[in-house]
Structure 1
Amino acid sequence: MHPIESKKLWEQLSELINADEPEQINAFLNSINPADTALAVSRLNSAEQSRLLTLLRPEEAAEVIEDISDTQAADLIEELPPEQAAAILEELDSDHIADLLGELDQDDANAIIEQMDPEEAEEARQFLTYAADTAGGLMLSEYLDFRGDQRVQDVLDDLQENREDYAYYDVQYLYVTDDENRLRGVLRMRDLLFPKRTEKLSNLMISSPHKVSVDASLEDLRNFFEEHALFGVPVVNDDEKLLGIVLPEAVEEANQKQSTQQFLGLSGIIGGEEFRSMPLLARSGRRLSWLSLNIVLNIIAASVIALYQDTLSAAIALAVFLPMVSDMSGCSGNQAVAVSMRELSLGLVRPTELLRVLGKEASVGVINGLALGVLLGAVAYLWKGSPFLGLVVGGALAVNTIVAVSLGGAIPLLLKRAKLDPALVSSPLLTTVTDMCGFFFVLSFAALVLDKL
């Protein structure tokens, strides 16, 4: 075995970079799968990462960029001179260019765009005007379109003449447009195989094809591809002009990215994806931004206990049940949050249906609250032999569960109406409220029967 083969992937790659061996670097990267490429690149230090992209040809560097996450790729791109970054981006698909430029600071993105080919630069600027989770932000501008009066032979000649350029396109359909680039029809590739070579495209095309607006949301696109088993859908503006195509895999990738962002938000990672290869202060800042807010929320919850410290001192057994009441209610509330989030994502509930959701969740809250309250109250009674202690903690849990479940169902709808991210805010907000209410119910109920505890 060659000595280098016994080393870890990133160690092998590091040696090749430090030896200035671009051909061997490219051969090495081509010999491993994309996941291994992402791993190896992430373990390099920042100087080696920049040197890697500098040593490779733009088309080779673009392949590396495609194998790593957009967040990591943007970090690497912004360290390069604008002209070198532009050369690499020009080798990527249009939607990937837009994704990477969208990750950069506006000044860095503009500096790179200025170095791009004028036609591609104009296209990149246009892409940046679309929201990332819309058809405009997800579409590809690489598609094939022809005029209706062209013949089958014309199309076949064009495909043959430009075969090297078209080899990188995702060609499942051909689009028929007029002189103003308005969409008139669509052709499947098979539609070119059997007709006469002299047949006009207007006689073969599917008229009035499925299409989506450039402003169509990610949810709209997801619903479209669930309903229509197509390999892609054309994107048009208000004037019916063809702008690009959206592929189902782009929608699936955007869904996964959205789910990742929601998971990170619920986990308290603010500002996007975090990788351990990122700078220490950047990683710390993404976590502290949430943890600092969480301190404030916990102080608010703890202030309720301070108001009833005399009650707590007189019946110290209550301290055992305080966290149980707040935690169990919080769990019940988060179940309601999850259902509302899911129904919002599927379009099964609208933000305006607040009363309906409150009614549905309150019903569940009453049943589950009473069941949990009886269980916890029985535990308290068996432990201390005090029926009043059982009534206090059981009653507090029952009432707090009703509150938590009702709010858990409603908060995501309220946040959606306020144009805030429900995935990011719902859970921490609900946790704070259930803590405060749980402490309040336990201690206020206890204060009413303090002499009997």
Structure 2
Amino acid sequence: MNETQTPPMESGDLSQRIKDAVGAGDAERLAGLLDPLPSSEALRELLMLVPDERDRVLELVPVELAAELVEEAPNEMAVELVERLEPERAAEILEELVSDIQADVIGELDEEDAEAILSEMDEQEAADVRRLSTYADDTAGGLMMSEVFRFTDTQTVGKVLRELAAEDEDFEQYRGQHPCIVDQNNRPVGVVSLRGLLTAKRSELLTSIMVPPLTVPVDMPLEQLEDIFDENPFLSVPVVDADGVLVGVVMRSAFTDALLERSESESLKRQGVVGDELRSMPLWLRSRRRLAWLAANIVLNIIAASVISAYEETLAAVIALAIFLPMVSDMSGCSGNQAVGVTMRELSLGLVRPIDAFRVWVKEVSVGVINGIALGILIGLVAWLWKGNPALGIVIGLALALNTVLAVSIGGVVPLMLKRMGQDPAAASGPLLTTITDMAGFFFVLSLATLMMPWLIS
């Protein structure tokens, strides 16, 4: 017996074997290399390939495996993978996915590509995808799937159990859903638990063991869905249209993914990254997206720097000011970012609207005055003790106090103003706040220093 153990396959070896299998068009070998991998690792190997090789992989591997790879990919990458395929193959892959993911992908394609793929899909499935893709992404309609675990109010427990036993594989897609009971007009009248089905008499009607359903409208926003899932232990919630007809179900997992995606998107936007950027995307696309934000920041920084230029003589006379300029602008920026964060949170929860700008401003000014005085005294004492000049402490402390009030005022209100103008507050608030607090901080320090020059240089 050979007791020598086969060493684990190195990542580089695996990548090369995948490339070799793609080059040889060996579908069986390719599936054997990718299928045993976790979905995330298989996607990583796919994205290590050049676009033409990725296309070939999705054409060669079994359609179920191709669908897993598309499902694992971020939405923008999933769209790119699908749109490069022939419509017939793209349709085969999408038909393996649940309807909400199908709609996400189809909704991002241009109309011609989308229709080419939909024309190759099952007629009813294509109609469902068209309907789902019309809903906004951050609503119940945009998050729901059309596959609903439903029975009619005329069925008995025994009939339902026989259906479950006979069509076990078909019902696998409803995992995580409680059976929804509908009337003859397809309006929800109740839900039952699987445990209730198993313990009830076979002759009983479903209506005798059901409980009233909790449904949500298709246009319910993500913030209100968050309240529903926070207050109830449901794994899914039925969705109804304006007429009360059952049209889908929102899974808790889809809702959680949407919250995470929004959080990640807002975080990336604050850093100047637009969209689902991955390093496997085309070089020029990634460069163009980043440059659009960076170029705007050059202009904003030139404006801030121009303030320093206007006070060159003051800065040259009191060189110690240069030490405290970045402190004043940075600490004020931190205060402003706190205000931005609170406003963004309240916007996402629906607790404030652009019309509330004045109320938000008043509340932020109140906090800014208290924090500005406290921070101003602290840094003023530091400047005085460090440089031995009380006038310097007054200049720096007063400048920080004033700039803190300004920063929180701007941080609290700017997202609301941007929202009213139809701009993305998550992407634009940060750069505007940074520029204004830098410019104002420099102005407060240098103008106050100019006024107190006799005491600063004495």
TM class by shorter chain equals over 0.9
Aligned to 2:291: 288
Equivalent position of 2:365 in the other structure: 362
For 1:250 and 1:277, locate their aligned partners in 2 and report how far apart those are by CA, in whole Å.
Answer: 25
Q: Does 1:267 align with 2:267?
A: no
Find the partner of 2:428 among 425, 428, 437. 425
Of residues 322, 329, 351, the one that matches 1:326 is 329
Find the aligned partners of 2:11 and 2:452 in 1 and give their Cα distance: 71
Answer yes or no: is 1:196 the counterpart of 2:201.
yes
Any unmatched runs of 5+ in structure 2? none
**Range 162-171 or range 233-242, more displaced:** 162-171
- Corresponding residue number in structure 1 for 2:121: 116
Check conservation: 1:4, 1:12, Cα contact below 8 A. no
| Counterparts of residues 174-323 of structure 1 (less than 5 Å) | 174-207=179-212, 209-270=213-274, 272-323=275-326
Task: Output the CA distance in 1 between the equivalents of 2:25 and 2:174.
Answer: 33
CA–CA distance in structure 1, aligned partners of residues 20 and 28 of structure 2: 13
The amino acid of 2:301's aligned partner reads N
Q: Which position in structure 1 is the counterpart of 2:413?
A: 410
Are the counterparts in 2 of residues 148 and 202 from structure 1 also a CA contact under 8 Å? yes
1:40 to 35, 40, 45: 45
Q: Which position in structure 1 is the counterpart of 2:384?
A: 381
Deviation at 1:310, TM superposition (A): 4.0
Where 1:216 maps in the other structure, the secondary structure is coil
Residue 434 (1) aligns with residue 441 (2): no
Residue 335 of structure 1 pairs with residue 338 of structure 2: yes
1:346 deviates by 4.1
Q: Percent identity?
A: 51
Higher mean displacement: 195-204 or 439-448: 195-204
How many residues of Structure 1 are paired with residues of Structure 2 in the alignment? 451
d(CA) in 2 for partners of 1:316, 1:171: 67
Amino acid at match of 2:78: A
Q: Distance in 2 between matches of 1:445 and 1:65?
A: 60
Q: Is it true that 1:394 corresponds to 2:390 in the alignment?
A: no
Deviation of the 1:410 alpha carbon: 2.6
Asked whether the 8 Å contact 2:31–2:62 carries over to 1, the reply is no
Equivalent of 1:443 in 443, 446, 452: 446
Shift of 1:97: 0.7
CA deviation vs aligned residue, 1:227-267 (integer Å, no higher than 9, x gap): 11112110000100000001111110000000110111011
Alignment TM-score, normalising by the size of structure 2: 0.91
* CA deviation vs aligned residue, 1:429-451 (integer Å, no higher than 9, x gap): 11111112112211221222234
One-letter amino acid of the counterpart of residue 368, structure 2 = G
Tell me if structure 2 keeps the 8 A contact 1:139–1:246. Answer: yes
CA-based RMSD of the aligned residues comes to: 2.2
> Which is further off, 320-329 or 338-347?
338-347
Deviates more, 1:198-207 or 1:83-92: 198-207
User: Residue type matched to 1:240 in 2?
Assistant: G
Contact 2:324/2:396 (CA < 8 Å) preserved in 1?
Answer: yes
Which segment is superposed worse, 60-69 or 156-165? 156-165
CA–CA separation in structure 2 for the residues paired with 1:106 and 1:299:
42
1:3, distance to aligned residue in structure 2 (A): 8.5
Tell me which moved more, 162-171 or 4-13. 4-13
CA distance in 1, matches of 2:335, 2:131: 46
1-structure distance, mates of 2:379, 2:152: 74
What SS class does the counterpart of residue 275 from structure 1 fall into?
coil
